[in-house]
Chain A
Amino acid sequence: MTAVTPVTSADPLVYLTVSEASRLIAARKLSPVELVEAYLARIDAIDDVVHSYITVLADRARAAARIAEAEVLAGRWKGPLHGIPFAVKDNYHVKGVKTTGGSRLMLDYVADETSTAIEKLEAAGAILLGKLNTWEYGTGTGEIYHDLPFPLARNPWNPARHTGGSSTGAGVAVAAGTAMFALGSDTGGSVRLPAAATGVYGMKATYGLMSRAGCLPNCWSLDVVGPLTWTAEDNATVAQVMAGYDPRDPQSADVPSYDLMAGFDMGLKGLTIGVVRDLGADAPSMDPDIVTKLAETEVLLSELGATVVEIALPAPLSKYRSVTGTINWAESLSIHEQDFMERSHLMGKALKDKMTSGFTVRAVDYVAATRYRRQLAVTTDAVIRTVDAVLAPCTFITAPTFEDQERLVKFTFGSATSIFNVTGHPAISIPTGFDRDGMPTSAQIVGRYFDEATTYRVARALEKAAGTRGLRPAL
């Protein structure tokens, strides 16, 4: 395969990892003020190309950076996120700041609460730069209709290419260096698909591990929030802060806190990794470059000392997908019913189609979907518990061009991400390299419930061995 050799003119500060910047800040060799200014300059320089942001909170970020700088200089360093700039999909509320959800329905809505995730990150010293682009209320098939109120986010590896959705700005921001880390939300893959499209890490943790309080809902029983980062270490660092029980979220898991980085650098010797090669006869085909990268990753796992075994999921991909549509249509309409009845003319086609679909879902089919979902979760968990972690496909193709509607839909729906929304297992999208066009390829590492630590351990080992973190987009 042709190797890509992008070059970039970015300020090196915006391409530091969280852990690198954190060490410099802790050692007082880098000021949070300097770092935030570098990011704001980067946003000014390139965001009219990639459109990662809906709202930039420059004054708020500068004020927070000055406070962080003073705290560090006074010897009150809070930990690895102190002074680190981040951004969130524009479905996270920040008190006093607009939340648009990427929708004409909410263009003037100012939030009166702050999401738990942002509260936790800011308490840890992280600095919010702004709100990121998104499909309307996290809804889309992949098809692009050019009917949303904000410019289309564009892939920094090739601005003619798709960013993945629905957290369209989040992967872009991390890859292009307009935020050091980003938060997205994931109902069927909306953290992992943008991560896959842009060559970054995107974690969908165990359902209930991270609070969704203060975020716009899309589909309650499938929604999770999660971080996108340049490295596995950064992802685990952010996830550790976000994790934990929150009574504000009715689905929050009331479990004791645990170390998401346990064994992080222990390598793979002694682990058994299950590999999912077959997603059913009716699964969409994978592009050859994706197949090659998955095979190379499998070989790498063995070379790193893991025992690799093939496992079979209890149902084909199509069965997992069969429940997500019905659940999503019904729950989403229950969220947006009043707007659909009264203001559907303000909705983009994707959201309107989902609402229209929800209008004719039978109650018995919704309940049947939730019952079958439970069976899928139980039987899938039985398989996953036979190994320490799982290597599974993520997207079956790399990010297509915006003109190729068929492949845009395939990128979103012809992927294996929704399986783990149905079952609730932790799954992280990892970069595995590049295809022949220089677009990032990806895979998923899946863990047992509440064992994000092993998924991060595997992701870390592969990252070190594969050396995929050396290239940045040429912007």
Chain B
Amino acid sequence: MSDFPAWTQDEINAFAARYGLANLTPDHLARMRELADRVSAAGRAIPRMPSKGDEPASTFRVPLA
């Protein structure tokens, strides 16, 4: 997987506002930017399955439990 560019603070501010977090403090938004890069790196570190047929660990089942 190719690397993604780091989040900028403006991107984080816009992302948070876009999804309803309009009242975060500047400190919280700055922390979100730090954590977003960590989350992004963790996502990239997850190996992708070689087969398109591999289902996730938990799949929807019927009859319902």
Find the B residue at minimum CB distance from A248.
B65
Whether A371 and B57, one on each chain, are in contact in the complex, defined by CB atoms closer than 8 angstroms, is yes
Does the CB pair B38–A250 fall under 8 Å? no
Interface of A is mostly: helix
Number of B interface residues in the complex (CB < 8 A) = 29
Say whether B42 contacts A325, CB under 8 Å: yes
Write the chain B residue with the least CB distance to A367.
B56
Instruction: Assess whether A292 is interfacial by the CB under 8 Å rule.
Output: no
* CB neighbours of A375 from chain B (8 A): 47, 49, 54
Q: How far is the CA of A319 from the CA of B24 in the complex (A)?
A: 33
Is residue A38 within 8 Å, beta carbon to beta carbon, of the partner chain?
no
Nearest CB on B from A78, distance (A):
30
Contact status B39-A322, CB under 8 Å: no
How many whole Å from A355's CB to the nearest CB in chain B? 10
B14 CB → nearest A CB, Å: 12
Q: Which of A319, A357, A374 contacts B35 (CB 8 A)?
A: A357
Q: Which of A195-203, A358-366, A446-454 contacts B (4 or more CB under 8 A)?
A: A358-366
Q: In whole angstroms, how far apart are the Cα atoms of A325 and B39 in the complex?
A: 8
Determine whether the beta carbon of B43 is less than 8 Å from that of A353. Answer: no
State which residues 263-322 of A face B: CB under 8 Å.
Answer: 319, 322
CB distance from A361 to the nearest CB of B (A): 6
Most buried by A among B19, B32, B45, B46: B46
Q: Is A41 located at the chain interface by the 8 A CB criterion?
A: no
Query: What does the 1/0 interface line of A158-200 toward B look like (CB < 8 Å)?
Result: 0000000000000000000000000000000000000000000
Which residue on chain A has the smallest CB distance to residue B32? A356
Question: Do B46 and A323 have beta carbons less than 8 Å apart?
Answer: yes
Q: Which 4 pairs of residues, A with B, have the shortest CB-CB distance?
A: A365-B43, A370-B56, A360-B36, A374-B57
Return 16 A-B CB contacts under 8 Å, by A number.
Answer: A221-B57, A247-B65, A252-B65, A322-B42, A326-B42, A326-B43, A344-B28, A359-B16, A359-B19, A359-B21, A360-B36, A365-B42, A371-B49, A372-B48, A373-B56, A374-B56
Q: List residues of A whose CB falls within 8 A of some B CB.
A: 221, 247, 250-252, 319, 322-323, 325-326, 329, 341, 344, 352-353, 356-357, 359-362, 364-365, 367-375, 377
Residues of B participating in the A interface, judged by any CB pair closer than 8 Å: 7, 15-16, 19-21, 24, 28, 31-32, 35-36, 38-40, 42-49, 54-58, 65
